[in-house]
């Protein structure tokens, strides 16, 4: 009951944000443009620009509606994520935040700095809210990398780059008699230092959070799967008990064991497939993979099933699924 209320609340807030955002960023400007008689050409150009500006509102309606319809990890994180985007803009353009900057500071720099500040606040809020909502809904969360990917850090890195470039562009010493030509070596520094700062922030952040690159199973040449980080403790102990460490370290294999452990029907199906001869097993797996893709099964699960095409992985999976059945009696 608590999970349904929490998810319905986040979904409702996301839908409300989407409606308000779309009204302010898309509908209202178009109505004003048509009422002022700007002309078809002017309104057409405005509509093209407003379509991009309304994208957060579209995503808010999308994830809000999806979360109301289906409670899963993707929809929960999507709804909360888009709410935090709204929070970042709300905090950034508050007069109280802009008033914190000295009177003499350039207004463009103040806006960039406030947007960067709002983004950090939204990122921290997202981490806490998403972990809490996922746990309330019964989804295991082992660490930060379970709830966040590279994109938020990449976006903040872009903001750092914009903020740094603006600082150098406005406050770097100018050549005498010029308003836009900077003295050496300030012009070069204005290019290199913002890029280096953004790159360092991005690299340090994803390393600190343990976010890994998309990996490829070198044994079977199976499809790439995004590293999901640490799994729940029970799955980790099962993997560590296996002697073939290279198989236990494969993220697709870990994901597969977790799904099989949580869903008895999946476990029963996999046990039947893994009990077949190699030829029949691969035929069944290829058929199953195609059916799951057609039915829109989660991509991580499809990729994890694909890992079983490898003989060593299939053998180890059969042993671990057997251990799970014994442990559950």
Closest CA to 170 of 109, 111, 114, 231: 109
Query: Mean pLDDT over residues 271-291, rounded?
Result: 78
User: What is the tens place of the pLDDT at every residue in 137-183?
Assistant: 887 776 777 788 888 898 899 989 989 988 888 888 887 777 777 77
How would DSSP label each residue in 139-207? Answer: ----SGGGT--SHHHHHHHHHHHHHHHHHHHHHSPBPTT-SSPBPTTHHHHHHHHHHHHHHHHHHHHHH
Whether the CA torsion 96, 97, 100, 102 is positive or negative: it is negative
Query: Mean pLDDT over residues 281-287, rounded?
Result: 79
Query: Mean pLDDT over residues 2-10, rounded?
Result: 88
Measured CA to CA, the distance from residue 223 to residue 215 in angstroms comes to 9
Q: Residue 2 pLDDT > 60, yes or no?
A: yes
How would you label 149-180 residue by residue, b for 16+ Cβ within 10 Å and e otherwise? Answer: ebebbeebbebbbbbbbbbbbeeeeeeeeeee
What is the SS3 assignment for 29?
helix
Q: Between 28 and 98, name the one with better pLDDT.
A: 28
Phi-psi group of 270: left, alpha or beta (phi > 0 → left; psi -120 to 50 → alpha; rest → beta): alpha
How would you label 77-110 residue by residue, b for 16+ Cβ within 10 Å and e otherwise? Answer: bbbbbbbbbbbbeebbeeeebeeeeeeeeeeebb
- Among 86-100, 154-168, 305-319, the range with the most confident prediction by mean pLDDT is 154-168
Q: Residue 11 pLDDT > 60, yes or no?
A: yes
Q: What is the pLDDT of residue 17?
A: 92
User: What is the tens place of the pLDDT at every residue in 200-255?
Assistant: 999 999 888 887 654 334 333 334 444 344 444 444 444 344 434 444 555 656 76
Which residues touch 148 (CB under 8 Å, ≥6 apart)?
126, 127, 130, 209, 211
If you average pLDDT over every residue of the chain, what do you get?
Answer: 76
Q: Residue 131 pLDDT > 60, yes or no?
A: yes
Measured CA to CA, the distance from residue 60 to residue 90 in angstroms comes to 15
Which residues touch 232 (CB under 8 Å, ≥6 apart)?
140, 142, 258
Give 16-21's long-range contacts (Cβ < 8 A, gap of 24+): 17/57, 17/60, 17/64, 17/82, 17/83, 17/86, 18/57, 18/58, 18/59, 18/60, 18/61, 18/62, 18/64, 18/82, 19/57, 19/61, 20/57, 21/54, 21/56, 21/57, 21/60, 21/86
Whether the CA torsion 77, 229, 240, 272 is positive or negative: it is positive
Q: What is the pLDDT of residue 64?
A: 93
Which residues touch 100 (CB under 8 Å, ≥6 apart)?
none
Q: What is the pLDDT of residue 66?
A: 92
Q: Which residues are paired to 225 by β-bridges?
A: 215
Measured CA to CA, the distance from residue 216 to residue 219 in angstroms comes to 9
């Amino acid at each position: 009951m608590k999970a349904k209320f929490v998810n319905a609340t986040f979904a409702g807030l996301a839908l409300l944000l989407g409606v308000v955002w779309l009204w302010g960023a898309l509908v209202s400007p178009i109505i004003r443009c048509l009422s002022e008689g700007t002309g078809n050409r002017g309104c057409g150009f405005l509509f093209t620009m407003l379509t991009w500006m309304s994208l957060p509102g579209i995503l808010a309606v999308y994830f809000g509606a999806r979360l109301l319809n289906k409670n899963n990890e993707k929809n929960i994180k999507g709804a909360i994520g888009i709410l935090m985007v709204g929070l970042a803009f709300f905090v950034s353009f508050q007069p109280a935040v802009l008033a914190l900057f000295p009177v003499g500071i350039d207004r463009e720099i103040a806006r960039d700095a406030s947007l960067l500040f709002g983004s950090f606040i939204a990122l921290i809020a997202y981490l806490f809210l998403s972990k809490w909502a996922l746990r309330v809904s019964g989804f295991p969360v082992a660490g930060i990398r379970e709830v966040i990917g590279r994109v938020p850090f990449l976006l903040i890195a872009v903001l750092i780059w914009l903020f740094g470039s603006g600082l150098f562009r406005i406050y770097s010493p100018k050549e005498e008699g010029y308003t836009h030509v900077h003295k050496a070596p300030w012009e070069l520094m204005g290019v290199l230092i913002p890029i280096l700062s953004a790159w360092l922030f991005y690299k340090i952040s994803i390393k600190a959070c343990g976010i890994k690159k998309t990996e490829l199973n070198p044994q079977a040449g199976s499809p790439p799967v995004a590293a999901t980080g640490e799994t729940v403790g029970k799955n980790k102990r099962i993997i560590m008990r296996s002697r073939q460490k290279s198989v236990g370290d494969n993220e697709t294999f870990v994901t597969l064991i977790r799904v099989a452990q949580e869903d008895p029907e999946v476990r029963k199906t996999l046990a039947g497939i893994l009990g077949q001869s190699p030829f029949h097993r691969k035929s069944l797996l290829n058929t199953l993979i195609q059916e799951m893709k057609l039915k829109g099964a989660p991509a991580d699960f499809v990729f994890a099933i694909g890992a079983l095409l490898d003989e060593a992985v299939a053998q180890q999976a059969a042993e671990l699924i057997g251990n799970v059945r014994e442990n559950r009696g």
